[in-house]
Structure 1
Amino acid sequence: MLSVSAKESAPASAAPVTKFRPGAVWPDTTGKPINAHGGGLLYHEGTYYWYGEIKQGETYLPKVNASWGGTRVDVVGVSCYSSKDLLNWEPRGNVLPAVPGTDLDPKKVLERPKVVYNAKTRKFVLWFHADSVDYAAAACGVATSDSPTGPFTYIRSFRPNIQSWPVNLKEGEKDAKGSQLVKDFPVGQMSRDMTVFVDDDGKAYLFSASEGNPTMHISELTDDYLGTTGKFLRIFEGRSMEAPAVFKRNGKYHLIASGCTAWEPNAARSCIADSIWGPWKELGNPCKGDKAGITFQSQGTYVLPVADKPGSFIFMADRWNKDNLADSRYIWLPIEFDDKNAPVIRWQDEWR
């Protein structure tokens, strides 16, 4: 997408960052570019933690992905950064490194890591999209840690909702495409782009692109956040949404997602519901202004409720560089809301 010139390299010194500059190189406290792509944030005991994919090394195109341009870099692991002000980020290392010959093999897929804290077990739980290089496995990966800065211990990868039936489809009934889901997916429901959302009551949910991507699933997690209960909902059948980001405001549930166009940007979509179990209603593209039709040349990954500013939210997105993934950038923008409770995102060259 956006090429990077040598003049735009990260500063050699670790001068404090004082403003958000969407699309610019964002240095950490050591002066190196932040490397946390497709990620999410956790706020815990007064500190923000940013987790993301480590993109480094050669970008290449596997033959099995040539038809859709699925370039990649080898899996390195999950990075962690910490911050008090959301601007200056201290690197805390690789908290889930790649391990050859396992589900975390460098030649496999580890995408969109999200960490949540379980107050009952006092564990930090990391969920991510775990897949084969051709994206046929379509599974979730789970790891845990006693500390937000890891290291995380890998538990397993799996497809959620094994031998279960969605709450909005009666047993024996067929979906709109004539598929009997339990029969078609005997080892669980497919799960690709995903996020995890923890509600006010401590219940947690997995949102993921499923059924080959055309339909999104909302799956209830077990009390320990390590698996799914089997209760799930199918939403937006045939809409092909990915990159889900979920948040709650004034008792309403919000979802911002993208279409499925590989690395190429597209128009974001916003959705709202009174209950996590729906019904969910689309509100349209939350982005307004120049390049709103391509989400300001980016794809969303997370919506952050700002801890010390109730009612304030930040839209986090990645500006992917498909030919040099290590040079992908971050787009963080504040979210406003119109009189219909719909989110509005406008471009700003810089902001505080």
Structure 2
Amino acid sequence: MYKTICQIILLLLFTSTRSLAQTSQNDSTATNFYPGKIWPDNNGVHINAHGGGIIYEKGTYYWFGEHKIAGPKGNSAQVGIHCYSSKDLYSWRDQGIALKVSDDPKSDITRGAIIERPKVIFNKRTGNYVMWFHLELAGKGYGSALAGVAVSKKVTGPYTFLKSTRANAGKMPFYPMGTPESEKVNCSDTTKKDDKFFCRDLKPGQMVRDMTLFVDGNKAYHIFSSEENYTVQIAELNDDYTGYTGKFVRMYIGQQTEAPAVFKRKGTYYMIGSGCTGWAPNAARWFTAASIWGPWTFHGNPCKGPEANLTFGGQSTYVLPVAGKKDAFIFMADKWTPKNPIDGRYLWLPITFKGGNLQIEWKDKWNLSSFNGL
């Protein structure tokens, strides 16, 4: 009997060790993306980085996103912003919580606040990694419409929360040369309905909701849904990337656009976003401009394939340039599950170009070889 028990224990240990080895091997040798499927990290746990963005640093990608939990509280910040790292974009290592929620009920990032769509960029002048995110104060729903800012000397953190802010208080938009007077804000003209939320918020500052960051040379920009989501604003950041210069534009005014994701290709600026239908998916939309300041041209829905009119069930969050590959961009989207937020899935798909036009086509399985020959 003793011998039999020992044999069973050894068999279980062997099976467990072999299983762990296989899991580790599978994690380290992943060679494909499976949009919408469970995506395990190095611990075998589904990646928890929703509404996120990626920064590439010295051969490594760092993915920052909202850490969700199960159940209805999962749509508020109960833990913080999670960070993962990868050398190849397929396999991701858990780097822990980069920015933790506060236990101080007086803090703007206290547990129960809403912290969404974190993005991180590096400032060469200060040597700081700068994180921005959409912030709603605890217990106030979506009425605060703030941006949160945090910094760290180390890419993976921990990040120190600096402040929350509305955008460009007291400032009027910048207008490119040739802008007609009829398109300029006039807060004394009450017939201009598309300006009413801008004028309402002129003194306290403009609303910040769904957002992204974009670096272009030495300049950085904060791009966000504003004016009750009826307008996207593009605002220039100051030299240390922790505040605004006061220069900004409004684009696609009155059209309710969320989830902006911005990138640059061959001198043209591209933006992908979505309509505003709460947690429910809708058709994506894309725009181009010769200058970050516009004018921006609307082009319609870039998606092709099943449920293309619903962005395949997801919503844009970021467009990732693939390091070392020319003209290679990945469309990153989230498939939200608001009743059980921790089960949210990631839809990563290659962007293809025909001339200046872009297309995002559904694929059940794909890898970076899709960009070969570009």
TM over 0.5: yes
CA drift at 1:177? 3.3
Say what the alpha-carbon RMSD is for the aligned residues. 1.7
The answer as to 2:310 corresponding to 1:294 is: yes
Q: CA deviation at 1:76?
A: 1.3
Q: Which residue in the other structure is 1:6 paired with?
A: none
**1:113 counterpart = 2:113:** no
Distance 2:147 2:197 in 1: 22
Contact 1:165-1:181 at 8 Å conserved across structures:
no
Name the structure 1 match of 2:101.
Answer: 98
Q: Per-residue deviation at 1:182?
A: 5.0
Say which of 125, 133, 146 aligns to 1:128: 133
* 2:168 maps to 1:152: no
> In structure 2, do the counterparts of structure 1 residues 161 and 29 end up closer, same or farther at CA, with 3 Å as the change threshold?
same
Q: Where does the alignment leave 5 or more consecutive residues of structure 2 unmatched?
A: 1-18, 176-183, 368-374
Instruction: Measure the CA separation in 2 of the matches of 1:215 and 1:36.
Output: 26
User: Hey, what's the Cα distance between the residues in 1 that align with 2:61 and 2:361?
Assistant: 24
Residues 26, 33 of structure 1: 8 Å contact kept: yes
Alpha-carbon displacement from aligned partner over 1:32-89 (angstroms, at most 9, x marks no partner): 11100000000011110000000013225xxxxxxxxxx8244310000011000111
CA apart distance, 1:181:
3.6
Q: Which has the higher helix share?
A: 2
CA-CA distance at 1:160 after TM superposition: 1.1
C-alpha distance after superposition, 1:278-318 (max 9, x if no partner): 00001110101211000011001000000110210000000
CA 54–180 in structure 1, closer or farther in 2 if over 3 Å, else same: closer
Count of residues in correspondence between the two structures: 330
Q: Would you say 1:273 and 2:268 are equivalent positions? A: no
Matched, 1:195 2:212: yes
- Residue of 84, 87, 97 corresponding to 1:81: 84
Give TM-score, length-normalised by structure 2: 0.85
Q: How far apart are the structure 2 equivalents of 1:289 and 1:40?
A: 25
Matches within 5 A, 1:60-79: 60=73, 72-79=75-82
1: CA distance, partners of 2:303 / 2:195: 35
User: What is the aligned partner in structure 2 of residue 344 from structure 1?
Assistant: 359
Answer whether contact 1:271 1:282 (CA < 8 A) is retained: yes
The one of 53, 62, 68 aligned to 1:55: 68
CA displacement, residues 73-113 of structure 1 (integer Å, 9 cap, x when unaligned):
44310000011000111110001001031111122110000
SS in structure 1 of the partner of residue 126 of structure 2:
coil
Between the aligned partners of 2:274 and 2:240, the Cα distance in structure 1 is: 29
- Contact 2:331–2:349 (CA under 8 A) maintained in structure 1: yes
CA distance in 1, matches of 2:236, 2:188: 21
Matched with 1:321 is 337
For the residues of structure 2 that align with 1:331 and 1:178, how far apart are their CA atoms?
35
Structure showing greater Rg: 2
Partner of 1:140: 147
Which secondary structure state, in structure 1, belongs to the residue aligned with residue 33 of structure 2?
coil
User: 1:247, 1:152 → 2: CA distance?
Assistant: 25
| Cα separation, partners in 2 of 1:268 and 1:90, compared to 1, 3 Å | same
Q: Is the 8 A contact 1:164 1:182 kept in 2?
A: no
Q: Secondary structure at the match of 1:162?
A: coil
CA contact (8 A) 2:187 2:195 kept: no
State how far apart, in whole Å, the 1-side matches of 2:187 and 2:347 are: 45
Name the counterpart of 2:42.
29
Residue of structure 2 in register with 1:255 after alignment: 271
Q: Is the 8 A contact 1:52 1:113 kept in 2?
A: yes
Structure 1: gaps (5+ residues)? 1-10, 61-70
Aligned-partner Cα distance in 2 for 1:181–1:58: 36
Match of 2:241 in 1: 225
Change in CA separation of 1:180 and 1:321 when aligned onto 2, cut-off 3 Å: closer
SS at match of 1:179: helix
Deviations 1:203-247 (A, max 9, x none): 011111001110110101001100011111011111100000000
**Contact 2:223/2:232 (8 A) holds in 1:** yes
* Structure 2 Cα separation of the partners of residues 243 and 96 of structure 1: 22
The answer to whether the 8 A contact 2:201-2:207 is kept is no
Distance 1:153 1:180, change over 3 A: closer
Cα drift, residue 170 of structure 1: 6.0
